[in-house]
Structure 1
Amino acid sequence: MNQVEVCFSPLLFEEFAKPNSIVVVVDVFRATSAIVTALHYGAKSFIPVSTIEEARELGKQGFLAGGERNGEVVEGFEFGNSPFSYMNDRIKGREIALTTTNGTRAINIAAKSADTVLIGSFLNLQALADYIQEQGKDVVVFCSGWKNRFNMEDSLFAGALTNLLLTSGKFKSDCDSANASSLVYRTGRKNLMSFLESCSHRKRLGHLNLEKDVEYCLQRDITDVIPVLKDGKLVRLN
């Protein structure tokens, strides 16, 4: 039976990395939610980069470019990591270079060792779980966190995905962080907005008048789009 594990911080990922496993990277607020949304609305691909300079350089080469730091759009960029900014015709068929505070960094860390990197969010949770159940591989849910620290929203997603995989009967977990995240999700799942009221990043986004982003990112199963990393680009899974 395959294992599901949860990594709470990029600093810990080396302890979880192993060949032939699926790594699901999540940054609920907001990078992975934005990536899922943009591909749903017709974007061709994302190139996740770790630095602002890399994103700017790709922008000069004709890519659309997004940059976010500390919840705000980086000066000089048209896009940040708000899902709403990608809900338009301009992105259709386009490749987008994106750098964010946490999510794109985690994606690039995972890419160094994982055979398969998928992008997770509450928006595509069930589709993601259904796909993973058919692959016959161990799974690591990689929480991007906040600047290497634990955060609650990514851990809630990790718990939601862990629950779905365990109840499928195809997975088990001997991982304390997976079991802890599952417990946290079962505690808060009836009202995620309320459960996250004291969450640091929800407060941070609230101070930036981005509460609508928070509400959107906590919606479940509004798309079946699953982004997968191929040759350095995030594209829709066939």
Structure 2
Amino acid sequence: MHKRIEVCLTPALLHLYDISEHIVVVVDVLRATSSMVYGIDNGATAIIPVAHVEDCLTYAGKGYLLAAERDGEVVKGYDFGNSPFSYTREKVAGKTIVLTTTNGTKALHMARTSARQVVVGSFLNLQALCDWLKTQDRSVLLLCAGWKDHFNLEDTLFAGAVVSKLRTGFTHFDDASVAAEDLYLQAKEDLRGYLRKSSHSHRLEQLNIEEDVKFCLQTDLCTAIPVLTGDALIALQ
């Protein structure tokens, strides 16, 4: 089988891809998928991604941690948002988290409707993810969550990092993969410096979460790969 690797630069383009036999890697490095990876790595039993803030409320009072973020800020009345520092072992081990975010959870819901399998990627689990993808006999689509359906740099850079690591095991690359890899190779020595050009970077600076950004750009802190099973993300076994 000729394994393909493709990059979907924004969820708005997802309808162009036939992903019925693909592994889809959902990418929202600042910060949703980084927090998901970190939370599962730190022993969270499961993370249930929901599309709307109101959906979180249906889980209230049942022992779940409720997490909601919109436009980069914690929604009032929720335990926390999507800062990775909320997903430490002390806070999440043995817990199930119900999470909604501006972009990442939306991309997960779109992917699950037609993909063969959906997993979550971030710089934090880059090597573990790539090692696993190499062993799978399936084509891969890297789905960048972007920002409200627009292209963004940080998710594309991560997609480029995956393409760069998987180059030997796959035969077909689309132009988006080539572009993503070129961007990554240009940026990889100083990801944070490169991302200072990005629009999201300016939004994040106004939110005063530089520590989050730096944290999310670290590679290989985690080995967990969250996989969507039914309604929940759990650790891939």
TM superposition score category, shorter chain reference: over 0.9
Match of residue 191 from structure 1: 190
CA shift for structure 1 position 202: 1.5
SS in structure 1 at match of 2:35: helix
1:182-221 → structure 2 map (5 Å cutoff): 182-221=181-220
1:8-47 → structure 2 map (5 Å cutoff): 8-47=9-48
1:1-238 → structure 2 map (5 Å cutoff): 1-166=2-167, 169-238=168-237
Partners of 2:91 and 2:191 lie apart in 1 by: 32
Partners of 2:182 and 2:18 lie apart in 1 by: 23
Partners of 1:222 and 1:89 lie apart in 2 by: 17
SS in structure 1 at match of 2:161: helix
CA shift for structure 1 position 88: 4.2
TM-score between both structures, scaled by the size of structure 2: 0.97
Partners of 1:18 and 1:88 lie apart in 2 by: 34
TM-score between both structures, scaled by the size of structure 1: 0.97
SS in structure 1 at match of 2:125: helix
SS in structure 2 at match of 1:189: helix
Q: 1:59 to 1:17 in 2, by over 3 A?
A: farther
- Measured against aligned partners, the alpha-carbon deviations of 1:155-198 in whole angstroms (never above 9, x if no partner) come to 000000011111xx220234111111011001111100111112
SS in structure 2 at match of 1:203: helix
Partners of 1:231 and 1:188 lie apart in 2 by: 36
SS in structure 2 at match of 1:23: strand
- Measured against aligned partners, the alpha-carbon deviations of 1:40-94 in whole angstroms (never above 9, x if no partner) come to 1111001100000001221233311100000000011011000001114232111
Conserved 8 A contact 1:173-1:179: no
Q: 1:17 to 1:58 in 2, by over 3 A?
A: farther
Partners of 1:139 and 1:80 lie apart in 2 by: 29
Partners of 1:65 and 1:84 lie apart in 2 by: 15
Conserved 8 A contact 2:19-2:141: no
Q: In the alignment, residue 135 of structure 2 is paired with which amino acid?
A: E
Name the Cα RMSD after superposition: 0.9
Gaps of 5+ in 2: none
Q: 1:105 to 1:176 in 2, by over 3 A?
A: same
Partners of 1:81 and 1:180 lie apart in 2 by: 28
CA shift for structure 1 position 126: 0.6
SS in structure 1 at match of 2:60: helix
Q: In the alignment, residue 187 of structure 1 is paired with which amino acid?
A: Q
Conserved 8 A contact 1:117-1:229: yes
Select between 68-77 and 50-59 the one with higher mean Cα deviation: 50-59
Q: In the alignment, residue 179 of structure 1 is paired with which amino acid?
A: V
Partners of 1:230 and 1:61 lie apart in 2 by: 20
Gaps of 5+ in 1: none
Conserved 8 A contact 1:59-1:97: no
Partners of 1:53 and 1:193 lie apart in 2 by: 34
